[in-house]
Amino acid sequence: MTVEIPTLEVTNGNQAAADWLERWCKFCHAIDDIIDEGRGPEAFLEVLVDAAELYSHPFWLTNWFHLRPVIVTVTNAYADSVAWENSGEVPERAMADVLRFAGVEMYCIVAAICGGYAHMRKLSPRMRAQTWSANHDPQGNPC
């Protein structure tokens, strides 16, 4: 998940939301590194500590009811992506490439919480385009 838009723009200036979103992004990248690179026990334990901080953060405590379902669906999409990324079936590999960016949905819900639907809609296409281009070569191949 790569979003190039400044976090404070996504959060409409809400510093607590920006801090939480940056922690969320770090958390997701750490999990991805453990899965993709087979990082050892220390990396796994660090992720557990990150989780404790993430799920006790003031922004989480205020907005958990809206954030939790997004975490569940993003995790589900990521699990499908991991399962299909090396599939022998072309459609599954193509879908895996798209699903690996499901974490952008967290940015979308935080933008909506902090600035409403119009704010989310204003940023959503930019976030998706930037995330795609940061993770694909000029021919559209995953990198």
Q: What is the model's pTM? A: 0.91
In this predicted structure, what is the pLDDT of residue 2?
59
Q: Please write the tens of the pLDDT for every residue from 114-135.
A: 999 999 999 999 999 998 888 8
| Average pLDDT of the segment spanning 35-43 | 88
In a domain, 37, yes or no: yes
47, part of any domain: yes
Note down the domain range covering 45. 7-134
Please report whether residue 101 resides in a domain.
yes
What is residue 103's three-state secondary structure? coil
- Rounded to whole angstroms, what are the CA distances from 110 to 19, 42, 65, 73, 135? 11, 30, 12, 15, 22
Q: How many domains does the chain have?
A: 1
Residue 141 forms part of a structural domain: no
Question: pLDDT category, 3, cuts 50, 70, 90?
Answer: low
Domain membership flag for residue 1 = no
Q: Is residue 33 part of a domain?
A: yes
Is position 139 within any domain?
no
pLDDT for res 55: 98
